[in-house]
Amino acid sequence: MSELLTITLPDGSARQVAPGTTPAQIAAAIGPGLAKAAIGARVDGELFDITRPLEHDARLALVTARDEADALELVRHDFAHVLAEAVQALFPGTQITFGPSTDDGFYYDFAPKDRPFTEDDLPAIEAKMREIIAADKPLRREVWARADLIARWQATGESFKAQWAAELPEGEELTVYWSGDDWFDMCRGPHLASTGKLDPAAFKLTRVSGAYWRGDQSNAMLSRIYGTGWLTKKQLDAHLTRLEEAAKRDHRKLGAEMDLFHLQSEAHGSVFWHPKGYRIWRELEAYMRRAIDGAGYREVKTPQVMDARQWEASGHWGKYRENMFVIPDEVPNTDDDGPVISGEADWMALKPMNCPAHVLIFRQGIKSYRELPLRMAEMGCCHRNEPHGALHGIMRVRQFTQDDGHIFCREDQIVDEVAQFCQLLDRVYKDLGFPKYAVKLALRPEKRFGSDEMWDKAEAELREAVERAGMATPEFGWEELPGEGAFYAPKLEFHLTDAIGRTWQCGTIQSDRVLPERLDASYIGEDGNRHRPVMLHRAILGTFERFIGILIEHFAGRLPTWLAPVQAVVATIVSDADDYAQHAVATLAAAGIRVESDTRNEKINLKVREHSLQKVPFLLVVGKREAEEGTVAIRRLGEQAQQVLPLAEALALIKAEATAPDLV
RNA sequence: GCCGCUUUAGCUCAGUCGGUAGAGCACAUCAUUCGUAAUGAUGGGGUCAGAGGUUCGAAUCCUCUAAGCGGCACCA
């Protein structure tokens, strides 16, 4: 009846097959090995069920475990479905909603019948999932008419699915996947041929959480179950090991162990920096000061509390008031029983950001175009009353200090300033041990200030600057993110990659024409008229709190010597060496090394262990021999080998590493 | 803020059926002077997160509050 299809394989060869032939049949025709290994297909580049009939001429590539990204996508998507099937089997009346694959597994959101799921439910669900996998139920794709599908969902009490089916775009083919003959889910696919293709030992349900229907806070709270899923148990085990390794780097754990800082409920969301933690801060801050001084910034310090009218003018009061710490501009009533505030108070607010204050400094006096670009910097301490659920260690806090800066410049200086900033940031990240980072451009959001022309221009400028800085390349992971910009400006984002491959957005630069307008900043141009400057908001670290947290996790606590709170410890073996140890400490300290002595009456084994756990980069062991010879036995953190050196040479060795990279 | 879980000594954690609190580490004292990841002995240390309730009796059961953890949402 119909003509044969021409299917082109990756090696360029072509096969003529009847319409309705499946990729699985073609794999079988090629060879039994491939037939066994193939779990999916790419048809004209699109991921495709291996059992789905081909209907057109196409390029076909069979997917096996070797095509890891595709294979994992298929497998994780299937695990999500098996999870949903298992939950409905164990908890009748639970509605299914949505369950995609993720970076390391899958999740599924349910509308539970009577109570949300807890972690105690997970073992039973896992067991049921294994039953479904063992049953090797075929997964079969079917196309449904929208009305039939909605009716079906309504009949089975699946109101979320019914709503979704009703709202899917016109013209989209609605497909369902059957698991055997007794369960199905609406799904775009693709899926494996049957549940038995999954490795029952290669997944694990990891946690439960709440999640809003369609990610919208105003919608119903669903109950989400997360799992991690892989092709093999070996991959799963490797993943679990990676998680354990990441947990060992947790800055909250290391911060306590290394006595760097603490948090407590009396000031939740604000950090108590201990001497050692604050030493890291001071070194980092000193480094940043040198960096911005060298880049032509002038540092300022602005008020912590400003009148609410100022925040109204800047637009923050209207948009972010809920997240600001607001203070009545009135002396509180000290009566025990009376109201704390009487009458109508005027309001002030702790600053949630530095930019309005910087505009106020800019506005002092008349500025000439000759003074631009004017680069203003501040180690600005800000407060934001973040939602409680958002707080996380020292990474997300309510009081934080930004390495903030605002460049006031003319239109024609923007591209150059942004490109220069990119260069400064590159230097800083490399100095701080992050050679790899990605650059992204966040484009206009839906809700925004300013005209489309302004946004066109602002986005184009940032794009051009990145190109000029040589960062608009795949090496920098260059991409544009529609809708992600701030309400007043597009922003360049800089995402660090840490030692275990996680990414952290830290740096940013945004070109803002809104705030200078709102706060009436102007300069006198060459033509003698008033002009609006453009304001470039920029930060490299982001905040000191978060960046130090990232440093701790990146280095697993083993900070480079120049940042380490204690750079060396002189530890004695016998008390006869105490005097010599003090001499060694004094010698190193005089050269600016942060050094401590450990003359406790303890065994050297204990001292080595403790200072190693404290991540001290250099341990200098002195016994009778060293005291007599004027040497020290150097043991570097993480190494067992020791090197006996004259004190002066040891000092030179340590000094070389204890010097900040920009001072070398 | 929302969902779930958690909160017991400075830290990490046991604590069964509701019957009045335990370990290791840390700390203190004493002994030990020792060569590269934990020397030994002895001792002190608790309003079981807070408030209320049930009960003859609550670390344990219930309610509320707070904080922490994992997510969701938020992140100027």
Identify the residue with better confidence: A342 or A612: A612
Indicate yes or no: strand B within 7 A of the C-beta of A483. Answer: no
Q: CA A268, C1' B44: Å apart?
A: 32
One-character DSSP codes across A370-416: GG-SEEEEEEEEEE----GGG-BTTTB-SEEEEEEEEEEE-GGGHHH
- Chain B nucleotides near the protein (CB, 7 A): 1-5, 11-12, 31-39, 66-76
pTM of the entire structure? 0.95
Indicate yes or no: strand B within 7 A of the C-beta of A364. Answer: no
Indicate yes or no: strand B within 7 A of the C-beta of A208. Answer: yes
Query: Which nucleotide lies nearest residue A577, CA to C1'?
Result: B33
Indicate yes or no: strand B within 7 A of the C-beta of A640. Answer: yes
pLDDT in tens, A543-597: 999 999 999 999 999 999 999 999 999 999 999 999 999 999 999 999 999 999 9
- Give the confidence band of A328 by pLDDT, cuts at 50, 70, 90: confident
Query: Which nucleotide lies nearest residue A217, CA to C1'?
Result: B73
Q: CA A581, C1' B72: Å apart?
A: 55
Taking the C-alpha atoms of residue A12 and residue A63, their distance in angstroms, rounded to an integer, is: 16
Q: What is the dihedral of CA A642, A643, A645, A648, to 10 degrees?
A: -80
Mean pLDDT score, A334-340: 62
Max Cα separation, chain A?
A: 101
β-strand partners of A530 = A524
β-strand partners of A375 = A407
pLDDT in tens, A536-552: 999 999 999 999 999 99
Identify the residue with better confidence: A161 or A1: A161
Mean pLDDT score, A609-631: 97
- Between helix A68-90 and helix A122-134 the angle, nearest 10°, is 110
Q: CA A324, C1' B25: Å apart?
A: 43
Q: Is pLDDT of A344 > 80?
A: no
pLDDT in tens, A369-419: 999 999 999 999 999 999 999 999 999 999 999 999 999 999 999 999 999
Query: Which nucleotide lies nearest residue A316, CA to C1'?
Result: B76
Tokens linked to A525: 């141009």
Q: Is pLDDT of A336 > 80?
A: no
Tell me whether residue A315 is exposed, middle or buried, using C-beta atoms within 10 angstroms of its C-beta: 0 to 12, 13 to 18, 19 or more.
Answer: middle
Mean pLDDT score, A20-44: 94
Question: Is the dihedral angle over the CA atoms A332, A335, A337, A342 positive or is it negative?
Answer: negative
Indicate yes or no: strand B within 7 A of the C-beta of A626. Answer: yes
Taking the C-alpha atoms of residue A127 and residue A252, their distance in angstroms, rounded to an integer, is: 34
Taking the C-alpha atoms of residue A24 and residue A331, their distance in angstroms, rounded to an integer, is: 79
Q: CA A605, C1' B41: Å apart?
A: 20
Q: Of A570, A568, A566, which is closest to residue A583 (Cα–Cα)?
A: A570
Q: Which pLDDT belongs to residue A331?
A: 75
pLDDT in tens, A275-327: 999 999 999 999 999 999 999 999 999 999 999 999 999 988 988 999 999 98
Q: CA A120, C1' B15: Å apart?
A: 21
User: Do residues A464 and A426 lie in contact, with contact meaning Cβ atoms separated by under 8 Å?
Assistant: no
Share of chain A above pLDDT 90, in %: 91
Tokens linked to A505: 């957005």
Q: Which helix (H) or strand (E) holds A123?
A: helix A122-134
pLDDT in tens, A495-543: 999 999 999 999 999 999 999 999 999 999 999 999 999 999 999 999 9
Q: Which residue is nearest to nucleotide B33 (CA to C1')?
A: A574
Q: What is the dihedral of CA A650, A656, A659, A663, to 10 degrees?
A: 150
Indicate yes or no: strand B within 7 A of the C-beta of A370. Answer: no
Residue reference for tokens 């942060």: A594
Tokens linked to A189: 């696919």
Q: Which pLDDT belongs to residue A2?
A: 61
ipTM exceeding 0.90, yes/no: yes
Taking the C-alpha atoms of residue A166 and residue A160, their distance in angstroms, rounded to an integer, is: 10
Share of chain A above pLDDT 70, in %: 98
Tokens linked to A113: 């019948």
Q: Which residues of A are catalytic?
A: 355, 384, 402, 404, 406, 491, 537
Q: CA A48, C1' B74: Å apart?
A: 37
Q: Which pLDDT belongs to residue A342?
A: 65
Q: Which pLDDT belongs to residue A619?
A: 97
Q: Which pLDDT belongs to residue A171?
A: 85
Instruction: Please give residues of chain A from 11 to 40 whose alpha-adjacent beta carbon (CB) lies under 7 Å from any atom of strand B.
Output: none
Q: How many helices (H) and strands (E) does chain A have?
A: 20, 33
Q: Which pLDDT belongs to residue A487?
A: 84
Q: Which pLDDT belongs to residue A522?
A: 97
Tokens linked to A655: 């000094």
Q: Is pLDDT of A332 > 90?
A: no
The residues near A661 (Cβ < 8 Å, ≥ 6 apart) are A431, A562
Taking the C-alpha atoms of residue A406 and residue A534, their distance in angstroms, rounded to an integer, is: 10
Q: Which pLDDT belongs to residue A442?
A: 95
Q: Which pLDDT belongs to residue A343?
A: 65
pLDDT in tens, A125-148: 999 999 999 999 999 999 999 999
